[in-house]
């Protein structure tokens, strides 16, 4: 089941190119550097999370909590930075402290999910449905139902993490690209990636083949938590705030991107670059609908829904025709 | 960080209500139930804060009043809350901000039919005449006041963009009133998309507006969370000097910047979350004074300017 350039792998790519052509035809600013940067940078959060989600889903798991987790991590990061500001002052140490807190909280949140699933043996759907509610309520509670805002001077200081860049390429895009390359290499060229696919295909056989199933699964959730942490590090500098509505429905967008990209929802086969295509497709739909007044804005959600279903249907039909 | 009372207050409320129900009920104590949506976004967060704040103050002022506060994340839960209040807490009055009009109309009518005093806040019920007292913000004025400011401060031919809220009747009323107010001024509305009263969504929509339109003179963000998202996008595009923004609802950060005379944020239009305080206070008055409190109380939407901003500034509120 290795990837070859068949129709089924080309499906999502074709859809992406069709969208790009459509966008370019509808608005001349679509391909401008500013718009391309906007779309790629805003894809970076969900994109990084979706790469982690690809591994979780490939190994037969699921994580519904990532959106709430991102909100919670963002809340903790802001809270920690505001609390440390009097002692550390505005500057690099405080920024690093905030980044450290975000990554640590993400890691621990992922670990909690992973341990509940692998050690306590509870269904991933149930565990992460539970933690989804827990993380979201915690951030609403911490924020007193309002919005947690980073101190203004500190926001100015860390703003460049989102808005800055090198050679005209902004940091979120670079970080996203690095995560994708690492993800693709791990999935295709390491034992870990192969174990994920083996467990997702048939965990019993994997276990009989001396694969440490629980440990691999735990690692996928920890890695996903870590990536949520990284994504939050990029997210917080953008607006410098977190609230109960931060990261709403990110989990579904990430899962949709993974599935559009050709990873099997029931596990056993993962495609990291496909996930990237999926994320870009979802971002572009929103972008194009904003740029061109094609339909009533009430119908934006419907258009996205149609394209998600269509992308998967095309893929499945082609792949079954090839006997996969 | 005041993460105050949440546990404390609810626990204390529960205990007090429990005690009150048994011991003091015969002692001319009046119980007022307050049912509101939970704090899912900035405005509701502010509303929750003001509700708790008002209840704490009224309970301290009037020992003969007891309050039961319940917050609900969806209409079904709110219906259950209200039924519980009537069945187990024996409330004398109900202050309710309906999550949605339709599903709450029946249950609130049942409370009224049981002889309780009913105060409805912000969103009306679908059948008129159930409530004794109606307290609400003025959505029509919210759009109109903003529109009048645009009309007075922009030349004919000026180009503006609009960020709308979550598609609802309320949002339609505001946008219709806004468009009516700028009618005939020659101001061109380039686009109006939904930002869902959400910072991230507004940021994205504003980024796309900026890619799409080379010239924008002003933005009606119609909500302060959206105004903050839009401002970040404008700053990123380096077009801060090109346009000003009018938000709405009176978030403390925005009011502060208006007080400080920020040229990017000339004015704001109020839609106060503290309207829940008005409703609770008026309902309480019925039991502690002879003042008549039935009828309709519509809270005006006022234009906040640098001159009067100080009176709309609540630094302790989360909103």
Give the domain ranges of chain B: 6-131, 139-269
Neighbours of A116 (CB within 10 A): 19
**CB B41 to CB A163 under 8 A?**
no
When pLDDT is cut at 50, 70 and 90, the band that residue B9 belongs to is very low
For residue A217, give Cα distances in angstroms to A64, B224, B249: 15, 43, 47
Q: Over 50: is that where the pLDDT of B1 sits?
A: no
The stretch B205-212 carries a mean pLDDT of: 92
pLDDT tens for residues A3-16?
Answer: 455 656 677 888 88
pLDDT for A6: 61
Fold of the CATH domain B6-131: Rossmann fold (3.40.50)
Q: Over 50: is that where the pLDDT of A254 sits?
A: yes
pLDDT tens for residues B141-160?
Answer: 999 999 999 999 999 999 99
Q: Which tops the pLDDT comparison, A148 or B149?
A: B149
**CB B41 to CB A248 under 8 A?**
no
Angle at A206 between CA A215 and CA A10, to 5 degrees: 95
Task: Name, in order, each residue with C-beta under 8 angstroms of A321's C-beta and a sequence gap of 6 or more.
Answer: A7
* Backbone φ, ψ for residue B115 (5° rounding): 90, 15
pLDDT for B19: 46
The stretch A104-130 carries a mean pLDDT of: 95
- Nearest CB among B41, B164, B211 relative to A29 is that of B211
Check if B212 contacts A (Cβ < 8 Å): yes
Nearest to B82 by CA among B46, B109, B49, B121: B109
Nearest to B134 by CA among B124, B144, B143, B142: B124
Q: Over 90: is that where the pLDDT of A244 sits?
A: no
Q: Are β-strands B117-121 and B93-96 bridged in parallel, bridged antiparallel, or unpaired?
A: parallel
Backbone dihedral region of B30: left (phi > 0), alpha (psi from -120 to 50 degrees) or beta? Answer: beta
pLDDT for A165: 85
pLDDT for A316: 67
User: B209 and B216 in contact (C-beta within 8 Å)?
Assistant: yes
Domain spans in chain A, listed from the N-terminal domain onward: 7-321
Query: Which of B73-77, B179-183, B306-310 bottoms out in mean pLDDT, i.e. has the lowest?
Result: B73-77
Q: Which CATH class is domain B139-269?
A: alpha beta
User: A271 and A199 in contact (C-beta within 8 Å)?
Assistant: no
Average pLDDT of the residues of chain A: 88
pLDDT tens for residues A123-144?
Answer: 999 999 999 999 999 998 888 7
Same fold, B6-131 and B139-269: yes
pLDDT for B104: 86
pLDDT tens for residues B84-107?
Answer: 888 888 899 999 998 877 888 888
Check if B6 contacts A (Cβ < 8 Å): yes
The stretch A165-170 carries a mean pLDDT of: 86
CATH code of the domain occupying A7-321:
1.10.3470
**CB A146 to CB B39 under 8 A?**
yes
**CB A144 to CB B2 under 8 A?**
yes
Long-range contacts of A246-249 (CB under 8 A, 24+ apart): A246/A70, A246/A71, A246/A74, A246/A75, A246/A139, A246/B200, A247/A66, A247/A67, A247/A68, A247/A69, A247/A70, A247/A71, A247/A74, A248/A67, A248/A71, A248/B198, A249/A67
The stretch A296-310 carries a mean pLDDT of: 79
Q: Are β-strands B133-137 and B117-121 bridged in parallel, bridged antiparallel, or unpaired?
A: parallel
Q: Over 60: is that where the pLDDT of B110 sits?
A: yes
When pLDDT is cut at 50, 70 and 90, the band that residue B162 belongs to is very high
The stretch A166-178 carries a mean pLDDT of: 91
Q: Over 60: is that where the pLDDT of A291 sits?
A: yes
Q: DSSP characters for B272-303?
A: -TTHHHHHHHHHHHHHHS-----EEEEEP-PE
The two three-digit tokens of residue A39, written as one number: 């779309």
Give the separation between CA B247 and CA B221, rounded to whole angstroms. Answer: 5
Give the separation between CA B84 and CA A226, rounded to whole angstroms. Answer: 43
User: A117 and A62 in contact (C-beta within 8 Å)?
Assistant: no
Q: Over 80: is that where the pLDDT of B5 sits?
A: no
Task: Name, in order, each residue with C-beta under 8 angstroms of B204's C-beta and a sequence gap of 6 or more.
Answer: A42, A286, A290, B229, B233
- Nearest CB among A30, A82, A146 relative to B318 is that of A146
Scanning A59-208, the segments in alpha helix (DSSP H) are 66-88, 92-118, 124-142, 152-163, 171-189, 191-201, 203-208
Check if A316 contacts B (Cβ < 8 Å): no
Q: Over 60: is that where the pLDDT of B22 sits?
A: no
The two three-digit tokens of residue A167, written as one number: 């050679």
Check if B153 contacts A (Cβ < 8 Å): no
Q: Over 60: is that where the pLDDT of B25 sits?
A: no
Tell me which chain A residue has its CA closest to the CA of residue B224. Answer: A147
pLDDT tens for residues A50-93?
Answer: 999 999 999 999 999 999 999 999 999 999 998 898 888 888 99
Give the separation between CA B32 and CA B12, rounded to whole angstroms. Answer: 16
Neighbours of B292 (CB within 10 A): 8
**CB A297 to CB B199 under 8 A?**
no
- Residue A101 CA from chain centroid, whole number: 19
**CB A35 to CB B211 under 8 A?**
yes
* Backbone φ, ψ for residue B83 (5° rounding): -60, -40
Element (H, E) at B96: strand B93-96
pLDDT for B2: 46
Q: What is the CA radius of gyration of chain A?
A: 20
Q: CA torsion sign, B181 to B187 to B192 to B197?
A: negative
Q: Which tops the pLDDT comparison, B96 or A149?
A: B96
Largest CA distance in chain A: 64
* Backbone φ, ψ for residue B188 (5° rounding): -100, 120
Q: Over 90: is that where the pLDDT of A112 sits?
A: yes
Average pLDDT of the residues of chain B: 85
The stretch A252-276 carries a mean pLDDT of: 90
Q: Is A194 helix (H, G, I), strand (E, B) or coil?
A: helix
pLDDT exceeding 90 applies to what percent of chain B? 40
pLDDT for A174: 95
The stretch A169-196 carries a mean pLDDT of: 95
ipTM surpassing 0.85, yes or no? Answer: no
CA dihedral A81, A87, A89, A94 (to 10 degrees): -40
Give the separation between CA B191 and CA B216, rounded to whole angstroms. Answer: 11
């Amino acid at each position: 089941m290795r990837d070859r350039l068949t129709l089924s792998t080309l499906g999502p790519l074709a859809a992406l190119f069709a969208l790009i052509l459509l966008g370019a035809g509808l608005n001349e600013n679509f391909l401008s550097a500013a718009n391309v940067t906007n779309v790629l940078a805003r894809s970076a959060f969900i994109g990084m999370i979706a790469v982690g989600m690809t591994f979780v889903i490939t190994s037969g798991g699921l994580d519904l909590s990532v959106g709430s987790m991102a909100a919670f991590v963002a809340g903790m990061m802001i809270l920690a930075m505001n609390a440390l500001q009097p002692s550390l002052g505005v500057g690099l140490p405080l920024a690093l402290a905030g980044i450290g807190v975000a990554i640590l909280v993400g890691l621990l949140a992922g670990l909690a999910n992973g341990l509940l699933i692998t050690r306590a043996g509870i269904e991933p759907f149930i565990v992460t449905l539970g933690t989804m509610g827990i993380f979201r309520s915690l951030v609403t509670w911490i924020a007193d139902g309002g919005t947690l805002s980073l101190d203004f001077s500190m926001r100015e200081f860390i703003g460049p993490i989102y808005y800055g860049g090198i050679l005209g390429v902004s940091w979120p895009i670079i970080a996203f690209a690095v995560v994708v390359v690492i993800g693709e290499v791990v999935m295709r060229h390491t034992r870990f990636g192969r174990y994920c696919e083996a467990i997702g295909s048939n965990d019993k056989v994997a276990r009989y083949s001396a694969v440490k199933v629980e440990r691999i699964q735990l690692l996928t959730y920890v890695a996903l938590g870590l990536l949520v942490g990284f994504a939050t590090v990029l997210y917080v500098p953008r607006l410098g705030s977190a609230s109960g509505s931060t990261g709403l429905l990110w989990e579904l967008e990430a899962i949709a991107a993974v599935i559009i990209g050709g990873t099997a929802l029931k596990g056993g086969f993962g495609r990291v670059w496909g996930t990237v295509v999926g994320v870009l497709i979802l971002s572009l739909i929103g972008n194009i609908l904003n740029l061109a007044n094609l339909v009533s804005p009430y119908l934006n959600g419907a258009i996205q829904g149609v394209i998600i279903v269509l992308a998967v249907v095309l893929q499945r039909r082609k792949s079954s025709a090839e006997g996969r | 960080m005041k993460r105050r009372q949440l546990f404390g207050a609810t626990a204390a409320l529960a205990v007090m209500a429990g005690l009150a129900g048994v011991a003091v009920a015969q002692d001319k104590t009046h119980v007022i139930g307050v049912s509101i949506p939970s704090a899912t976004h900035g405005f509701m967060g502010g509303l929750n804060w003001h509700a708790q704040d008002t209840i704490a103050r009224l309970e301290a002022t009037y020992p003969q009043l007891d309050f039961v506060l319940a917050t609900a994340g969806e209409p079904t839960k709110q219906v259950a809350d209200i039924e519980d209040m009537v069945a187990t807490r024996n409330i004398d009055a109900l202050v309710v901000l309906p999550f949605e009009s339709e599903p709450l109309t029946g249950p609130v009518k049942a409370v009224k039919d049981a002889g309780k005093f009913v105060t409805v806040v912000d969103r009306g019920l679908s059948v008129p005449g159930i409530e004794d007292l109606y307290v609400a913000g003025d959505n029509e004025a919210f759009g109109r006041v903003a529109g009048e400011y645009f009309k007075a401060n922009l030349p004919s031919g000026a180009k503006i963009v609009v960020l709308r809220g979550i598609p609802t009747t309320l949002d339609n009323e505001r946008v219709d009133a806004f468009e009516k107010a700028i009618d005939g001024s020659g101001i061109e509305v380039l686009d109006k998309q939904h930002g869902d009263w959400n910072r991230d969504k507004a940021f994205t929509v504003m980024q796309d507006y900026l890619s799409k339109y080379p010239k924008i003179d002003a933005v009606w963000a119609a909500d302060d969370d959206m105004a903050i998202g839009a401002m970040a996008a404008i700053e990123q595009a380096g077009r801060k000097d090109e346009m000003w923004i009018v938000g709405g609802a009176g978030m403390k950060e925005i009011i502060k910047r208006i007080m400080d005379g920020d040229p990017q944020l000339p004015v704001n239009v109020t839609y106060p979350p503290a309207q829940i305080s008005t409703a609770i206070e008026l309902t309480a008055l019925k039991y502690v004074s002879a003042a008549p409190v039935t009828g309709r109380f519509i809270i005006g939407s006022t234009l906040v300017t640098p001159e009067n901003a100080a009176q709309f500034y609540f630094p302790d509120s989360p909103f």
